[in-house]
Amino acid sequence: MARETVVHRQGEDYAYEDEQGEQRGARLLREVLEVGILTLMLFIVVHLLVQNYRVDGPSMTPTLINQEYILVDKAQYIFQRPQRGDIIVFAFPQDTSQDFVKRIIGLPGDTVRVDANGQVTVDGVAINEPYVNDLTNPYPPNTWVLKSDQYFVLGDNRGDSSDSRAWGPVPRSDIIGKAALVYWPFSDLRLLSDYSIVYAHVHK
């Protein structure tokens, strides 16, 4: 006759070794190890999906303030592509040991232009950006045509930001995740908006 393999919830069934008083220490050790392993697995899973970062610098003011802490969703772009308006954390293309945070302005295939006065156009559509602190453009006016894996990013504090105007688009492979939440200081707790409505008139 075939034998079934069964499992029992801990503490559900009467255990012979408890009656004999022989294995209680071993059972306690096993339970401690199980809790430790489960905690470690949960930590690993959470770390794979979410990462916390500290903002260092003024380039995303007023959306992100220097020394604020943010949570970055690393799982979202597994299921969907980054979108215009998303605030992303990515490896700096010129030094991938550094992580930067900026806002996506242009998607693969887009033509992005930044004029001398700071006006941004995407595929000929002028973008009215309510989240921008300063439209000053300290870089020469230029136009970028994005390749199939490139994203154009800018800081919200345009007059004090090193971004795609200075060093070009960000490859998709360098994008770590989407900044979703400011969680510290606690008084600044807030979700981060992607302002998708701003780009509603640009083709999808």
- The end-to-end CA distance of the chain, in Å, is 63
Phi-psi region for residue 67, left (φ > 0), alpha (ψ -120 to 50) or beta? Answer: left
Catalytic residue among 74, 97, 102, 147: 102
Cβ contacts of residue 152 below 8 Å, gap of 6+? 104, 105, 106, 110, 112, 144, 146, 164, 169, 170
Phi-psi region for residue 145, left (φ > 0), alpha (ψ -120 to 50) or beta? Answer: beta
**CB-CB neighbours of 149 under 10 Å:** 12
Catalytic residue among 59, 161, 164, 178: 59
Q: How far is CA 109 from the centre of its chain?
A: 23
Task: Give yes or no: 102 in active site.
Answer: yes
Q: Is the Cβ–Cβ distance between 156 and 136 less than 8 Å?
A: no
Closest to 93 measured CA to CA, from 143, 146, 167, 162: 167
Sign of the torsion formed by the C-alpha atoms of 9, 11, 17 and 19: negative
Give the catalytic positions in this structure: 59, 102
